[in-house]
Amino acid sequence: MVAHPSSSGTSYTAICTILQIMGEEKGWEFIKDYAGQVAQFTKSGAAPAKFVGQGESGVGITFLTISSLKSRRAHHWK
């Protein structure tokens, strides 16, 4: 599970980073392969962490800071 780049700045930033690091040709090839393995695209960059935290998904890809904030709000870390 990962956010869709058309609705999430988180995923848009990730795609831009991949293209900058790998270059256009290899970057888009990587993104196409990666997208083919994603079971669900969400609208929000924070949604994958939320769904994993609720046990609705086994894997969610997001920024580490989002995951930390979600965990703290759920009082997992005190």
pLDDT of residue 31: 92
Judged by DSSP in three states, 19 sits in: helix
Q: How far apart are CA 76 and CA 46, in angstroms?
A: 17
At the fourth CATH level, which superfamily is domain 2-73? Periplasmic binding protein-like II (3.40.190.10)
Task: Report yes or no: 4 and 11 within 8 Å, Cβ to Cβ.
Answer: yes
In the predicted structure, residue 59 carries a pLDDT above the cut 80: no
Which residues lie closer than 8 Å to 39 by C-beta, 6 or more apart?
1, 57
Residue range 4-52, pLDDT digits in tens: 888 888 889 888 999 999 999 999 999 999 889 887 887 777 776 777 7
Which residues lie closer than 8 Å to 66 by C-beta, 6 or more apart?
10, 45, 46, 49
